[in-house]
A and B are shown apart, each in its own frame.
Chain A
Amino acid sequence: MPSQRTLVQTPVQTLAPRHYRTINWVGLSTLYIKEVRRFMSVATQTILAPMVTTLLFLAVFVLALGHAVDKVAGEPYMAFLAPGLIMMAITQNAFANTSSSILISKIQGNIVDLLMPPLTPLERTIGLAGGGLTRGIVVGIATWVAMVPFVPLSAAHPGFILFHAVMASLLMSLVGVLAGVWAEKFDHMAGITNFIVTPAAFLSGTFYSAERLPPLWQGVAHMNPLFYMIDGFRYGFIGHADGSLTAGILVLLGANAALLWLTHRLFATGYHLKA
């Protein structure tokens, strides 16, 4: 009588927490897909808009200065400018993705959807940063494609392009997570964007060659992580770097490791997230 046996045995089982292996793959991929869908559903604003504004920047600077610039780093001004602008679009959008995701969740009160699911702090960090990373790369590719008809862009060192794109995008996604966790109002985020992110991006050597700056400003430029992102990324295209490439790679690896650790700590302790 097998059927009787099952009847007897079922009530004895107690509820136990669900067990996952080292990584909760279903949960992680769900978070990641949610983050990607969040920006893909408004692609006009999240991909097309940055593409257009980047092209406008290119047009403005080429129109304003292009006629007076001889050559920068042995390249026409446009070819020098284009990689920096692509990188600027990558960093700004990677930052925007994670920071807005967390801040909006906090304001709308659905941040619990991130905190309640059975995800470890590491999985949360990776899921969120992965979304920002993807947005940065997608915007970068879109901007690149949009520029091709205007600027002859050859890839001198594809490895450098890829490495710096991924590292920069990851770095700014993590900074975005930190900013999103810290900020409580849209005003705070506008402040961070206006006072830190945009100035850092603008004064990073996108528009000019840091080599030709006075020594003081060169020193300031070298303190800016965005300088290394843009410099290495541009090296991938035109084969010329203003600063040390090794230093750049080390800075990016170190900064990403430190930010990953910090983000992990914040999620683990629940800073500004769990009351």
Chain B
Amino acid sequence: MNHVARPVTTALQARRFGLVNWIGCWSLLRRQFKNGFSDLHYTILGPVISNALYLLLFVIASSSLTQLDPKALVAFIAPGLISFSIAERAFEVSGANLIYDKHERIHFDWLMAPLTPTERAACFAISSTIAGMMVGSAVALMTLLFVPATVAHPWALLFFAAATGMMHGLIGTLLGIWAAKWDQYTALHTFVLLPLAFLSGVFAPVGTMPETAQHLIAFNPIFYLIDGFRYGAIGKAAADLHVSAAVAIAVNAVLFAWVHYWLRTGYRLKS
């Protein structure tokens, strides 16, 4: 008899989750992936081909114009290009997705879901990191056409690959939240992020650059990420590895806190 009476008296309550809403996180991750991988041939083949072209260009240009050893040059540039393609894709997955969501007004789907700001920020960061690393792996496979694979320090390689992806995923998230139009998003990408990435030692050893350029590069966080990644690949680094790792962790921590703050306050998302 007790059995029958009880259910009637219980009032509706907010659903309770443990420390982490795992189902919610998993759903958001899957959603991000679905958006990020709907057109694989375009997102993977594009970077693979353009990076193959870069390498081919460097081989032709260096062997026809200089006494430099093309193999050594490619071995130096390849890790930079892999790192660069991780960054580009990670940035795109979170940034472009967010702007699309805002345009279509479907960002309420994940704003309404019972997720904490930490969970949302983490899902955006993780999905971008993984997407970026997948493209990076494809580009890495392509580089085997030019140079034999070298993995000097696998853990450093993985750490800096993940840190690069996460950093750009978080930057993409920030830009996606901030930008009201595609114009603003592409403008910041072209005028800020791309120059930072191109002038970070992807293509040239810092040692060969003019002194002022070397000093400026020391302020570019992307330089440390690429340098650390290159250390993982070929075992040679321009900066102190501990400094690079510290920069990678610090930058990611600051960016994560920033994303968390915006998601918590609903800046530009909830009006």
Contacts and interface: CB of A to CB of B under 8 A. Distances in A.
Given A52-B195, A53-B194, A208 B203 contact: no
A63 B208 contact: yes
Contacts of B152: none
Given A63-B203, A190-B42, A49 B61 contact: no
Contacts of B73: 64
Nearest to B41: A187
B199 A208 contact: no
A206 to B, nearest CB: 9
Interface stretch (A19-27, A65-73, A114-122, A232-240): A65-73
B254 interface: no
Contacts of A100: none
Secondary structure dominating the interface of A: helix
A213 B194 CA distance: 31
A44 B183 CA distance: 8
B66 A68 contact: yes
Nearest to A49: B190
A253 interface: no
Q: Which interface class (under 10, 10 to 19, 20 to 34, 35 or more) fits A? A: 20 to 34
A199 B186 CA distance: 23
B41 to A, nearest CB: 8
Interface string A199-242: 10011000111001100010000000000000000000000000
Select the residue from A64, A203, A213 with max chain B CB neighbours within 10 A.
A64
B253 interface: no
B62 A45 contact: no
B190 A53 contact: yes
Interface string B224-236: 0000000000000
B65 A60 contact: no
Given A45-B186, A213-B64, A207 B195 contact: no
Nearest to A213: B64
A159 B39 CA distance: 46
B195 A56 contact: yes
A212 B64 contact: yes
B62 A65 contact: yes
A224 B103 CA distance: 42
A72 B65 contact: yes
A199 B50 CA distance: 8
B60 interface: yes
Contacts of B60: 203, 207-208, 213, 217
Contacts of A195: 49
Given A59-B199, A190-B46, A202-B53, A69 B66 contact: yes
Interface residues of B, number: 36
Contacts of B68: 65, 68
B209 A207 contact: no
B146 to A, nearest CB: 15
A194 B46 CA distance: 6
Contacts of B213: 63
Nearest to B184: A44
A214 B41 CA distance: 33
A194 B61 contact: no
B198 interface: yes
Contacts of B202: 60
Given A60-B204, A190-B42, A208-B65, A198 B198 contact: no
A52 B57 contact: no
A203 B53 CA distance: 8
B45 interface: yes
Interface string A156-187: 00000000000000000000000000000001
A202 B56 CA distance: 9
B61 A199 contact: no
B58 interface: yes
A68 to B, nearest CB: 4
Contacts of B203: 60-61, 63-64
6 contacts: A60-B203, A63-B204, A65-B66, A187-B41, A207-B60, A208-B57
7 tightest A-B CB contacts, nearest first: A68-B66, A212-B64, A64-B204, A63-B204, A64-B203, A208-B61, A49-B190
Given A48-B191, A59-B198, 15 more contacts: A49-B186, A52-B191, A53-B190, A53-B194, A56-B194, A60-B202, A60-B203, A60-B204, A63-B209, A187-B41, A194-B45, A199-B49, A203-B53, A207-B60, A208-B65
